[in-house]
Amino acid sequence: MSPTDKRNRPVILITGASSGLGAGMAKEFAKRGYDLALSARRIEQVNELKADIEKIAPEARIETARLDVTEYASVFDVFNEFRNSFGKIDRIIINAGIGKGAPIGKGAFETNLTLMNTNLIAAMAQSEAAMEIFRDQNEGHLVMMSSITAMRGMRSAMTAYATSKAAVSALAEGIRADMLRKPKINVSTIYPGYISTEINQGLPKSKTPFIIDAEKGCKLLVKAIERKPAKAYVPYWPWALIGFLMRTLPLSWVSRII
């Protein structure tokens, strides 16, 4: 590959890339010929990931930055620093998030507030920063990582999490509506089913039906994202059907499904 070809490699920015789906997708995208801008709070783990990726995709250019997405001003700074460093950003994956919630009314407001700030308000900040870049470039691909739980209100410790994911799905759809007349700017909402990561480690199988391993899940996620769909369930089967059932069945039945 010539230096010119290398400079033309597509650039992907992934937040929350220190572990889980973010790290797995980074590896898959690197194998497919992308350069990477990786960020997370745990910068040591991001740099370890960079070293791992350089072994499997030595031609990839990888830049890293520490980013706590709840430090909202830093989101804009880091995104713009990445853009200035690479000269462009082709795709931004809003992946940073947490899954630890608590039942409403059980005295854990601060826990749920932290979750909502991380999963929703920080996603708004990332969307703002991303779309400023894409509007200026007049092209780009915004990817919002939602969840199958966004289909319906969830009970117990999942209530705040499902709420945050339903809200970011609506956020992505609103941005997509704004971009309908800008065909070079795409917005995708991704609804993963259960994929084995640290966020669901230790949960009983009854609470994680149809779970698949992280490597397979990340390959399917990358394949779906590369199609630039408006929406995608990953894996498509059985989660497209389950998503439909969750939206249409009585709430008492939904609680038995997921």
Q: Is 161 a catalytic residue?
A: yes
Residue type, 76: F
On average, the pLDDT of the chain sits at: 93
Q: What is the mean pLDDT of residues 73-93?
A: 98
Choose, from 34, 72, 161, 194, the residue flagged as catalytic: 161
- Judged against a pLDDT cut of 50, whether residue 3 lies above it is answered with no
Contact criterion met (CB below 8 Å) for 91 and 13: yes
- Judged against a pLDDT cut of 60, whether residue 18 lies above it is answered with yes
User: What is the rounded CA–CA span in Å between residue 214 and residue 19?
Assistant: 11
Supply the pLDDT for residue 198.
67
Supply the pLDDT for residue 202.
58
Strands ordered across the beta sheet of 231-234: 62-66, 35-40, 11-14, 91-94, 140-145, 185-192, 231-234
Supply the pLDDT for residue 7.
59
- Give the pair of three-digit tokens for residue 253: 């039945």
**Full-model pTM:** 0.94
Supply the pLDDT for residue 209.
75
Please give the CATH architecture assigned to the domain spanning 3-257: 3-Layer(aba) Sandwich (3.40)
Q: Taking each helix axis as running N to C, give the angle between helix 43-56 and helix 20-31, from 0 to 180 degrees, rounded to the nearest 10.
A: 30
- Give the pair of three-digit tokens for residue 175: 């941005």
Per-residue pLDDT band for 201 (boundaries 50, 70, 90) equals low
Per-residue pLDDT band for 206 (boundaries 50, 70, 90) equals low
Which range has the worst mean pLDDT, 135-144, 190-199, 230-239? 190-199
